[in-house]
Amino acid sequence: MRRLFAPVDIASLVFFRIAFGVLMLWEMWIQFSNGLIQRNYIDPTYHFTYYGFGWVQPWSGNGMYLHFLALAVLAVCIALGLWYRVAVALFFLGFTYVFLLDQALYLNHFYLMCLISFVMIFVPAHRAFSIDAFLRPGIRSRTAPTWALFLLAAQMGIVYFYGGLAKLNGDWLRGEPMRTWLALSTDFPVVGSLFTEEWVVYLFSYGGLLLDLLIVPLLLWRRTRLFAFAFVLAFHLANAQMFTIGVFPWLAIAATALFLPPSWPRRLGELSRSLWRVLQRSPRRPVSTHEDEKQQTRERDVIATRPNGLPERLQARQWVVVSLLGIFLAVQLLVPLRHFLYPGDALWTNEGYRFAWRMKLTDVQGTAVYQVTDPESGRTWDIYPRDHLTARQAIYVVRFPDIALQFGHVIANSLQARGYEQIEVRATVKASLNGREPQLLIDPNVDLAEQPRTLVPAPWILPLEEPSPA
């Protein structure tokens, strides 16, 4: 308890607040400039909603443009520290709403943005270098409680660890799908010509695995911290160059910087000023940190003089904070493990895929066609997802059985609305996982219109015929 509430330099949290706000503004710009708002939220006829969130629907008319514009304004407010608490809370609600609109748009880093914006509601990252602190001197502080820094760093550490844990599968250890992706990236500057070499394939595969599993302990150990951070920096910069993953590499770099000493932005600023004075040949001495250290020492002394190291009047509130921290982190630690509750190979069934940091594990190619039968007339006809869905949605029908089921329900509901009282919907979905021969993903004899959406294992998903190597 004493360590969680001990004051640390707030500079690192301030840096992350600014970086997060700027990156979220950049993400909104990507949505506007690339036409993604129109393509993903306005043009689609159907949206594949999350279980229990079917009521979440896009705004009509230009509402989605206005929504993303509001998110951009809120991102600016977060970066500037203007009405910070309100801004970050509204950003969390607004971005989570966008996230819940369509399962086919699921991205791990969008989920991470939801989590981080939620955590930041409670983190006092606006008490320094912010408009709020300028307008309200009473909230100013050069320190923040350790738990605020710990919580954000722990969230990023969970992403790394479970990302590495998911790579401990036969496909990844034999170089797939990395081999396939590197073969498509031979135009990478300088070293791209080597990407078809087997040793390079295994270097990338095992390097990514070891980084995810070991980076947190290496960052926590003072002797390896700078080396580990430099390696993470190179890793994410390479990913930004090779893959189209938006702002995630930069968000990961900013979040990983939370593992560095909390005062590093302040020290970096002082070093820059010192170097500038040297270049200017100024006789003035560098700005001293003596006053900062004195203030932090005073705050530590105030805490240390209370019983159990904590102010009595705050102990109850702090136990609440610790309890909520424990609940939040317990959920984050348990949810990624739920795929073990489902039978079969999770790489194939994708049951338990979402919210588990199972990143960049599969390359799936395939086709899907739905057979619709009207029992009264005996008429049967085919429906092709690509004729009714966006390209991304059609791809996800092949990859995710739960989305294939949803589209079966969409077809049945649409035809029933047109007067077909009884309708049967079956699907022939063939998929190839990480270079395997294509095989049926779901039972083509099952009437999907009769299958409910549930969170329990789906018996109509066929097992992978060529399992992952042991």
Least confident of 160-164, 282-286, 324-328, 418-422: 282-286
Report the distance separating Cα 103 and Cα 106, nearest Å.
Answer: 5
Instruction: Please report which confidence band the pLDDT of residue 311 belongs to, taking 50, 70 and 90 as the band edges.
Output: low
The predicted pLDDT at position 317 comes to 81
The predicted pLDDT at position 274 comes to 79
The predicted pLDDT at position 448 comes to 96
Residue 298 pLDDT more than 50?
no
Residue 272 pLDDT more than 80?
no
Closest CA to 4 of 220, 294, 316, 310: 310
∠ CA 149-154-157 to the nearest 5 degrees?
A: 130
Higher local confidence (pLDDT), 149 or 190: 149
Q: What is the mean pLDDT of the chain?
A: 90
The predicted pLDDT at position 312 comes to 57
Cα dihedral 459→463→469→470 (10° resolution): 40
Instruction: Please report which confidence band the pLDDT of residue 425 belongs to, taking 50, 70 and 90 as the band edges.
Output: very high
Residue 375 pLDDT more than 80?
yes
For residue range 74-99, list pLDDT tens digits in order. 999 999 999 999 999 999 999 999 99
418-436 mean pLDDT? 92
Closest CA to 94 of 126, 56, 39: 56
Report the distance separating Cα 384 and Cα 85, nearest Å.
Answer: 47
pTM confidence score: 0.90
Percent of the chain surpassing pLDDT 90: 77
The predicted pLDDT at position 288 comes to 46
Instruction: Please report which confidence band the pLDDT of residue 304 belongs to, taking 50, 70 and 90 as the band edges.
Output: very low
221-225 mean pLDDT? 94
For residue range 110-148, list pLDDT tens digits in order. 999 999 999 999 999 999 999 999 999 999 999 999 999
Instruction: Please report which confidence band the pLDDT of residue 307 belongs to, taking 50, 70 and 90 as the band edges.
Output: very low
Report the distance separating Cα 440 and Cα 463, nearest Å.
Answer: 9
97-115 mean pLDDT? 95
Report the distance separating Cα 287 and Cα 243, nearest Å.
Answer: 42
Query: Strand, coil or helix: what is 372?
Result: strand
Burial class (CB in 10 A: 0-12, 13-18, 19+), 52: exposed
387-409 mean pLDDT? 94
Higher local confidence (pLDDT), 270 or 411: 411
The predicted pLDDT at position 310 comes to 52
18-42 mean pLDDT? 95
Percent of the chain surpassing pLDDT 70: 93
From residue 323, give the alpha-carbon distance in Å to each of 89, 116, 120, 308, 333. 21, 19, 17, 18, 15
* Residue 370 β-bridge partners: 383, 427
Query: Strand, coil or helix: what is 442?
Result: strand
The predicted pLDDT at position 434 comes to 93
Report the distance separating Cα 78 and Cα 85, nearest Å.
Answer: 8
For residue range 434-462, list pLDDT tens digits in order. 999 999 999 999 999 999 999 999 999 99
Give the largest CA-CA distance in the chain: 95
Report the distance separating Cα 281 and Cα 268, nearest Å.
Answer: 20
Instruction: Please report which confidence band the pLDDT of residue 208 belongs to, taking 50, 70 and 90 as the band edges.
Output: very high
Q: At a CB cut-off of 8 Å and minimum separation 6, what does 122 contact?
A: 148, 151
Least confident of 34-38, 203-207, 295-299, 366-370: 295-299
24-36 mean pLDDT? 95
Which amino acid is it at 138? G
